[in-house]
Structure 1
């Protein structure tokens, strides 16, 4: 790749439009989306279906999948119930989708979960394992059986990470670890696919305004405190539809990365320096120390069956 092309690719990854730039048309393409029955996954399916794509939705919830298929009108829709943690089931799901749809062009590894807030000292190991199994191993189990299909059709893969990968978050270690690891999986995949004529990218979202986010950050005293400590631009929430539009746009540009809201973008670009400063501040911050003690005390009360309190 020439220097000019490298610069153009870097600008596209930053979301800067270029005249005459690369455009990937999804019309007639087969797009696999995990976690496709609701939330960001279904919003993305609706957008791409509207652009003429065949959308193949994988979700653990078979009932929700049927509702999603009905909402999309049934045509150019393939649905398969599978748990992304189950490697054999995902292998089967991908093979069945490829056979039913005539191949696979695009894969969006979107399925993910967030555990209840807890420190590493107190988190239930089963909760930690579940987050890693879905948010990281689930990505591997999704993309691994589809890679040859994507290469054969010079397609594109999107790994959904999070702006949480940019910095540590008190009480959210499992989520941060899983999203940081999935980010690297996506970046490595991009490098590995380049020589085969296929592409990959990573999607980073800030706070998506879901019922889970509201319960965690608005209706919980400790969560509200954490939220208040974010710089104001980083507290801005986006809808599932906005997140989905950013992924659809990234696919159309074969972008190596996309970040929304864009207020998180400088943090991602400068994290090497910022994280050194942030870590130094948090380690010596009395409010952070108190937050950890309060969180652990609340966990102790829950385990003892005592009233919540603070």
Structure 2
């Protein structure tokens, strides 16, 4: 399937900006796009991570910029540097994201919530908005990395899930707003991806492990960062309005309105959920 535009979008010699490119999905995507012939502007706070990817790919088609997506002026500067280096900007992938420790709304540290929103939601706007004129001029494409968490039950993770739901809406708005200009946008949804972010949340934290078990198979099936990057890259080539990986999340995505109404009722009565909430609240009391 080749999307609304009728033919494949070849990234060869096009300029692609990727945030969160120092590790995980962003790093895997940078390598994949470089192999496809793209010229890259890679952004991350992790300077050492950027140095590793730059040294492995070479300097000819790679610009690295250490910047914080929460810094609006800095992100405008990234776009300016990209245009100065390459003279164009065709594709933007707003990938940078973080997750807070599991917590209930009642006991969470609101500073943690603010940080997640600043990166996962406002950071997307800070990344995308200054680049839109260039993307429109190139009739290019924007990818907003959301998550299947945007439409999953939110117990213990409302900061991450609500910020990804907001990111989804930003991506959906961009689809409509760019279309009259001949440009396009898409939203990338992932289930569980084996990255340092997921490991810290689901493996290293006992409550996270319990949440992983509660969701159950097949939805807790994990994919590699390379598989996630492949999904984004394929979505760019198709100018896809949405990509979902792993594919077993597609039925949930399509039927979310019906499934979530039932899931909320069932989970509200589930003793495992009750125990997890009590444990999260007890943890907060211990820390407080």
Give the TM-score band, short-chain normalised.
over 0.9
Greater radius of gyration (CA): 1
Change (3 A) 1:219 1:134: closer
Provide the aligned length of Structure 1 versus Structure 2: 288
Which residue of 227, 230, 245 corresponds with 1:260?
Answer: 245
The structure whose RCO (Cα within 8 Å, separation 6+) is larger is 2
Normalising by structure 2, we get a TM-score of: 0.96
1:283 deviation in Å?
Answer: 2.2
Q: Which runs of 4+ in 1 moved over 4 A?
A: none
User: Which piece of structure 1 moves more, 210-219 or 178-187?
Assistant: 210-219
1:212 deviation in Å?
Answer: 3.6
Alignment of 1:265-276 (within 5 A): 265-276=250-261
Aligned partners of 2:280 and 2:144: how far apart in 1? 31
Give the SS at the match of 1:232: coil
Q: Which residue of 2 aligns with 1:251?
A: 236
Q: Which runs of 5+ in 1 are unaligned?
A: 1-7, 14-19, 304-310
1:21 deviation in Å?
Answer: 4.9
1:99 deviation in Å?
Answer: 1.4
Residue 149 in 1 paired to residue 134 in 2? yes
User: Which piece of structure 1 moves more, 198-207 or 216-225?
Assistant: 216-225
Give the SS at the match of 2:93: strand
Residue 64 in 1 paired to residue 49 in 2? yes
Aligned partners of 1:67 and 1:90: how far apart in 2? 22
Give the SS at the match of 2:182: coil
Q: Which residue of 2 aligns with 1:41?
A: 26
RMSD: 1.6
Aligned partners of 2:168 and 2:24: how far apart in 1? 20
1:79 deviation in Å?
Answer: 1.1
Alignment of 1:35-114 (within 5 A): 35-114=20-99
Aligned partners of 1:220 and 1:282: how far apart in 2? 21
Give the SS at the match of 2:103: coil
Aligned partners of 2:22 and 2:153: how far apart in 1? 30
Residue 117 in 1 paired to residue 98 in 2? no
Residue 171 in 1 paired to residue 172 in 2? no
